[in-house]
């Protein structure tokens, strides 16, 4: 595995390979866990070369957020990447000019809800850095986790609207055995916080099961989840049900794919999670046109 510390260095390393090998890219902020490793494994199945980046992007953190405290574990991360067969690890000191970026991208409608509403400017920072990374790496594929569903949706839309020649692959949420979605921020949780945080996946699972049992009212589903949060003494930042692709608010479940989303602060960590809500819609009865006897 080769480690590059600057855009120029990585471009030089990748240049001779581009003509005959495909590239899959996994952007991360480091402090790697099994969720990241699953994305890396997917990338390895998709392309000849796997590039992973580790960059804690200041542009996506708001004032008072955990930019300085964000866990940085480069040596362990590099060993994990090498063990997983990563070909290039990109670890730049910065991706912006000294005076700060003067040109940035803006995510419009898709960023007005969920995390975009509670973290103004966050997704503008995310798509700006992803765009810079895509320009440097020029990958054929880029793999993102469904854990950050809104991010994945916005990036898919960026690639479509800006006609970027990269295929975006979404990968399922990896969870601890007890259901907690893996996150670098889980390190902030004490044992007590961890037990309390289980309410997130439990509430989403309860919504999912009620939907499968035939409940179509989003109001009722939210009520079911809310009672789990009340019992765990968790105050949610948001608890929402939206169309999976357009992120439009939903009041009723029907055949259009929907997802439940939650964000909550537990101890020192801000945690997010989401799950699909599927109705158990039985297929239309087949119409019999011929006598089968």
Q: Kindly state whether residue 259 participates in binding ligand AMP, applying the rule CB under 6 A.
A: no
Contact with ligand AMP (CB under 6 A) among 144, 188, 229, 261: 144
Stretch that binds ligand AMP, among 78-86, 168-176, 254-262, 264-272 (CB under 6 A): 168-176
The footprint of ligand AMP on this chain (CB under 6 A) covers a number of residues equal to 16
Beta carbons of 5 and 88 less than 8 angstroms apart: no
> Does residue number 36 form part of the binding site for ligand AMP (CB under 6 A)?
yes
Q: By C-alpha distance, which of 123, 107, 129 is closest to 56?
A: 129
- Alpha-helical segments (H) within the chain: 7-14, 34-46, 74-83, 114-118, 122-137, 149-161, 191-212, 218-231
Which residue, chain included where needed, has tokens 């574990």?
73
Q: Is 184 in the site for ligand AMP (CB under 6 A)?
A: yes
For residues 54 and 228, which CB has a smaller minimum distance to ligand AMP in the complex? 54
Stretch that binds ligand AMP, among 73-81, 111-119, 170-178, 193-201 (CB under 6 A): 170-178
Give the x/- contact pattern for ligand AMP in 62-91, rule: CB under 6 A. Answer: ------------------------------
Could you say which of 181, 234, 262, 264 contacts ligand AMP (CB under 6 A)?
A: 181
Give yes or no for residue 116 binding ligand AMP (CB under 6 A): no
- d(C-alpha 26, C-alpha 23), whole Å: 10
Residue 39 sits in the site that holds ligand AMP (CB under 6 A): yes
122 interacts with ligand AMP by CB under 6 A: no
* Single residue of 52, 80, 129, 182 touching ligand AMP by CB under 6 A: 182
Looking at the annotation, which residues are catalytic?
Answer: 36
The span from the CA of 94 to the CA of 129, in Å, is: 11
Nearer to ligand AMP, 11 or 175 (CB): 175
Per the structure block, which two tokens stand in for 169? 């692959």
Rounded (to 5) percent helix, strand, coil in the chain:
40, 20, 40
Q: Rule CB under 6 A: choose which of 4, 24, 28, 153 binds ligand AMP.
A: 28
Give the chain's end-to-end CA distance (angstroms, integer): 66
Q: Decide if 274 contacts 260 (C-beta within 8 A).
A: yes
CB atoms inside a 10 Å sphere around CB 179: 15
Q: Which of 166, 155, 129 is nearest to 247 (CA)?
A: 155
Q: Which of 136, 140, 145, 247 binds ligand AMP (CB under 6 A)?
A: 145
> In the complex with ligand AMP, which residue's Cβ is closer, 184 or 196?
184
Closest by CA to 245, choosing from 164, 146, 106, 167, is 146
**Residues in touch with ligand AMP (CB under 6 A):** 28-29, 35-36, 39, 144-145, 147-148, 171, 173-174, 181-184
């Amino acid at each position: 595995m080769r480690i590059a510390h600057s855009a120029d260095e990585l471009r030089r390393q990748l240049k001779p390979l581009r003509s005959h090998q495909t590239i899959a890219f996994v952007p991360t902020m480091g402090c790697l866990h099994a969720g990241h490793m699953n994305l890396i494994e997917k990338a390895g199945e998709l392309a000849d070369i796997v590039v992973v980046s580790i960059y804690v992007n200041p542009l996506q953190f708001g004032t008072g957020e955990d930019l300085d405290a964000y866990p940085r574990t480069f040596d362990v991360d590099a060993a994990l990447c090498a063990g997983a067969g990563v070909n290039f690890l990109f670890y730049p000191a910065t991706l912006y000019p000294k005076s700060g970026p003067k040109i940035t991208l803006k995510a419009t409608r898709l960023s007005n809800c969920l995390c975009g509403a509670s973290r103004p400017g966050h997704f503008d920072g995310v798509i700006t850095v992803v765009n810079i990374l895509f320009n440097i790496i020029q990958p054929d594929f880029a793999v993102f986790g469904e854990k950050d569903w809104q991010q994945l949706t916005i990036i898919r839309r960026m690639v479509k609207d800006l006609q970027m020649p990269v295929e975006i692959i979404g990968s399922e949420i990896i969870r601890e055995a007890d259901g907690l979605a893996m996150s670098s921020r889980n390190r902030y949780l004490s044992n007590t916080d961890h037990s309390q945080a289980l309410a997130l996946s439990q509430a989403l699972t309860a919504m999912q099961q009620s939907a499968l049992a035939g409940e179509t009212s989003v109001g009722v589903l939210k009520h079911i989840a809310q009672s789990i949060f009340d019992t765990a003494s968790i105050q949610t930042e948001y608890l929402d049900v939206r169309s999976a692709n357009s992120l439009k608010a939903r009041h009723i479940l029907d055949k259009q794919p929907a997802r439940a989303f939650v964000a909550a602060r537990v101890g020192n960590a801000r945690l997010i999670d989401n799950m699909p809500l599927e109705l158990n819609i039985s297929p239309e009865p087949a119409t019999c046109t011929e006598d089968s006897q």
